[in-house]
Amino acid sequence: MSLEIKVPPVGESITEVTLSSWIKKDGDQVAMDEVIAELESDKATFELTAEKAGTLKTIAAEGDTLAIGAVVASIEDGGGASAAPSDTDKADESAPSAPAQQADAPAPAAEPAQGGSTLEIKVPPVGESITEVTLSRWLKKDGEAVEMDEAIAELESDKATFELTAEKAGTLKTLAAEGDTLPIGTVVASISGGGAAAPAAKAEAAPSASPAPAAEASTQKTYASGTPSPAAGKILAEKGVDPQSVSGSGVGGRITKEDALNAQKASPAPAKTESKPAASAPAAAPAVTGERGERREKMSSLRKTVAKRLVAVKNETAMLTTFNEVDMSPIMEIRSKYKDKFKEKHGVGLGFMSFFTKAVTEALKDWPSVGARIEGEEIVYSNYADVSIAVSAPKGLVVPVIRNADKLSLAEIEKEVIRLAGKARENKLGIDEMSGGTFTITNGGVFGSMMSTPIINSPQSAILGMHNIVERPVAVNGQVVIRPMMYLALSYDHRIIDGRESVSFLVRVKQLLEDPARLLLGV
């Protein structure tokens, strides 16, 4: 009886895949759950496994583009379970009888030890709107022993970074490579056995007892030897590097993406381009000096999502920006007078962000449309103020949210800013800490920005941009004085916020900052 092997569903948005390579050939004996082929989509690479033991009959060819559910192969009844003994039989014919008997003895003991206790580690659901993640890095390497609940990898989505943990103790086998984009539910790794120490000892003891079979096993090439992964193959093709000249460091000698990048660096192409101009155009050679290299990096999921959203906001909103300036002298005087007592009492420093957040929440009470949003054909107003703060993290810009900022004191706001900024720098922000938000504040002044037009953080309708503080001459009561001044920029969606509301909102923020007593009195 034969069993059809079909292309499995690999993601909601993926309708077809490409059969990149057959790992097992037509007529080969395969075991249950053994990898038989590699499928490649526009987002990731997947392994196709045998759903029962038997003889493989391939139907699709390498390079074919197949729809989800298409039949790729069939497995006929016929001794898939005997595949492993047939391999040992070949080893027995090429080696003396005594070593062959020694090699056969540990084999049955090793298979039950790992078989039946292998646990697949899959990409877990991390949010309703997230359908795929990127495997940013492995914390544990292939073949290492892991403990239960130990972090083995980092997964990165377009919103946050998550740790993938081991669901049991044992030996780790990695199935995905760093940088791969994986749909939710994809098998990333497997954990076999109850520990790696004993199997490793047996594996080392077998070659020492029978050096002849071990030597033969090391010379036997697997299907992966010298074969680049799809990502590595593309890099090698772009650089014109022959895969045969690259040694693979992956499982079974497979050429990984890192191997391909290293091969690119070691390529003698720069030397050729330097020698050709010297020979063909000697006069032009002195014009180009020093090394002229390029470096390519794959965009992270976070960076790709930020790029898409910023372009969407520019295209889908009627965004305008209004400017004003604020005299920071009163706030700076309060900080210099009370900062020591404030820190002694509350354990945090008194910064500018708490004053701006408090001023924004007060201004939103007078002009609620600035904190509203459009949903379909309706305008949604909020009677609370969840203020998002833009934070520059190592992997890109993130916008955590200060919940109920209108009900927090200056000290509570400062503590929340420090907590969220710290988690952002450590890539430990959760999705719930970045979801929602009714208004955003971004401070480009910390990087020296004098003026900018910040882009709205969709689906919000407005964003306030802070800038650097510069001492400038200003007229006060008919006198020219030097004051620390800051430009403020309010970008807003003109579909929901009129010019009168946007300008009045910004003027209100300016008044509250130049007279901080109003923040305490609520006037």
Pairing mode, strands 439-443 and 387-389: parallel
**Active site (annotated) includes residue 467:** no
Per DSSP, 50 falls in state -
**C-beta separation of 497 from 370 below 8 A:** yes
Report CA 87 to chain centroid distance, whole Å.
41
d(CA 479, CA 482): 10
Burial class (CB in 10 A: 0-12, 13-18, 19+), 508: buried
Which of 26, 64, 77, 498 is the catalytic position? 498
Is-contact 441 353, C-beta < 8 A?
yes
Residue reference for tokens 């130049």: 514
Residues for the chain: how many in total?
523
Residue in the block written with tokens 């890095």: 137
Q: Report the C-alpha gap between 44 and 481 in whole angstroms.
A: 62
Per annotation, catalytic residue among 259, 432, 494, 515: 494
Alpha helices in 105-249 (DSSP H): 106-114, 197-209, 211-219, 230-239
Contact 119, 170 (CB under 8 A): yes
Count of other CB atoms within 10 angstroms of residue 383: 10
Is residue 490 within 8 A of residue 321, CB to CB? The reply is yes
Rounded Cα distance, 137 and 398, in Å: 20
Structure-token pair, residue 322:
């209004």
The residue type at 47: E
Q: Give dist(CA 256, CA 258) in Å, integer.
A: 5
From residue 67, how far is each of 60, 112, 130, 282 by CA, in Å? Answer: 12, 37, 23, 55
Residue 386 and residue 384: Cα distance in Å, rounded? 7
Catalytic residues: 494, 498
